[in-house]
């Protein structure tokens, strides 16, 4: 077992039916050997785990619609990509896939749920990875999906070529070091906004702290290029693949804050919250495309893979 003993604590308000948890077991070579069920009400992490002490690990969050894990392959591929970027052993995707599907089944009674996979470099001084998959029913995002969100444009302090010049900064990896992403959302709230769109120091739109930016200008959808040191979004990927269904073409191209202000419609999109229209940028109101937002959210929810 990878998970060291921990002190008991007061139980959290969870139950195994709504908060399923599977601990992934690894051998000394870093290969996953399987998974065991665990009680999410009890602590399982060792305080020396590098995921906790250094944020040294990776994660993925997948949406589940009535038991179907959505964009499963794209998430697993991105999990493996993040592992490569952090020089972690390659996760055994067969084991992780089975664990994710198992959690999906456990949450099949819920209209919307999510499952998260986490892999850390393990307990400091031990050659053993730590991994787990946990799930929960999703919050109700209907208001955000219909009314939209106000975003603040925040400087990320990185150039758009950071992935090429400084790969050790891990821009575009889904690491456990999300404290910066959360700090950015708090800054947005101080500015009277709900969420963030990051901008590179050379003036290009990047992504949200938990989302991909999509613009519609006429019949064309655009999103920033992934080689700008951003995460390749699975939600944006599915929407772009289906764009012809709505008579739209889809491109990846450099975009600026002026493009966002001038776009016919703009969204931030992500796995669990799905599609949320951007209704204001830095306090300036902008139009939303309510019918395309609704169509997209229906489409995303109905995905069977
Ligand atoms: N960009 C970042 C930084 C993210 O953390 C996320 C998801 O959480 C996304 C983009 C959107 O990715 P996905 O659509 O796969 O959820």
- 98: helix, strand or coil: helix
Q: What is the pLDDT of residue 53?
A: 97
Burial per residue of 52-65, b for 16 or more beta-carbon CB atoms within 10 angstroms, e otherwise: beeebbbbbbbbbb
Residues at CB less than 6 angstroms from ligand 1: 61, 207, 209-212, 231, 233-236, 269-271
pLDDT over 60 (residue 54): yes
Give the model's pLDDT for residue 14.
54
Residues constituting the chain: 305
Q: pLDDT per residue over 226-262, tens digit each? A: 999 999 999 999 999 999 999 999 999 999 999 999 9
Confidence (pLDDT) at 11: 44
* Ligand 1 atom at shortest distance from the alpha carbon of 272: 16
Q: How far is the CA of 59 from the centre of ligand 1 (A)?
A: 11
271, 296, 303: residue to mutate for ligand 1 pocket, most atoms within 8 A of CB: 271
Gap from CA of 123 to ligand 1 centroid (Å): 27
The residue among 269, 17, 18 whose CA lies nearest residue 141 is 269
- CA-nearest residue for atom 7, ligand 1, is 210
Number of the ligand 1 atom closest to the C-alpha atom of 237: 14
pLDDT band, residue 15 (cuts 50/70/90): low
Residue nearest to atom 9 of ligand 1 (CA): 211
Q: How much is the pTM? A: 0.94
User: What would the mean pLDDT of 53-82 be, rounded to a whole number?
Assistant: 98
Do 212 and 223 touch, CB atoms closer than 8 A?
yes
Are 206 and 230 in contact by the 8 Å Cβ rule? The answer is yes
């Amino acid at each position: 077992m990878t998970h060291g003993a921990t002190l008991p604590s007061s139980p959290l308000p969870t139950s195994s039916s709504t908060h399923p948890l599977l601990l992934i077991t690894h051998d000394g070579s870093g290969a996953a050997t399987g998974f065991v069920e665990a009680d999410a009400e009890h602590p399982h992490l060792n305080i020396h785990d590098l995921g906790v002490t250094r944020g040294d690990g990776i994660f993925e969050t997948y949406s589940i619609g009535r038991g179907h894990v959505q964009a499963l392959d794209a998430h697993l591929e991105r999990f493996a990509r993040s592992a490569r970027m952090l020089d972690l052993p390659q996760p055994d995707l067969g084991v992780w896939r089975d664990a994710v599907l198992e959690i999906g089944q456990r949450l099949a009674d819920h209209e919307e749920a999510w499952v998260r996979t986490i892999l850390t470099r393990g307990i400091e001084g031990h050659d053993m990875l730590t991994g787990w998959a946990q799930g929960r029913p999703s919050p109700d995002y209907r208001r955000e999906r219909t009314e939209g969100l106000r975003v603040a444009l925040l400087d990320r302090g990185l150039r758009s070529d950071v992935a090429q010049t400084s790969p050790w900064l891990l821009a575009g990896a889904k690491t456990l070091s999300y404290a910066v992403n959360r700090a950015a959302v708090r800054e947005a709230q101080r500015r009277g906004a709900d969420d963030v769109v990051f901008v590179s120091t050379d003036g290009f739109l990047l992504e949200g702290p938990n989302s991909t930016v999509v613009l519609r200008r006429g019949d064309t959808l655009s999103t920033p290029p992934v080689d700008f040191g951003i995460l390749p979004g699975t939600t944006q990927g599915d929407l772009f693949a289906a764009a012809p269904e709505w008579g739209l073409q889809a491109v990846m191209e450099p975009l600026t804050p002026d493009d966002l202000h001038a776009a016919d419609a703009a969204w931030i999109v992500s796995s669990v919250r799905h599609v949320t229209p951007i209704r204001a940028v830095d306090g300036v109101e902008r139009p939303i495309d309510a019918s395309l937002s609704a169509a997209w959210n229906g489409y995303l929810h109905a995905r069977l893979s």
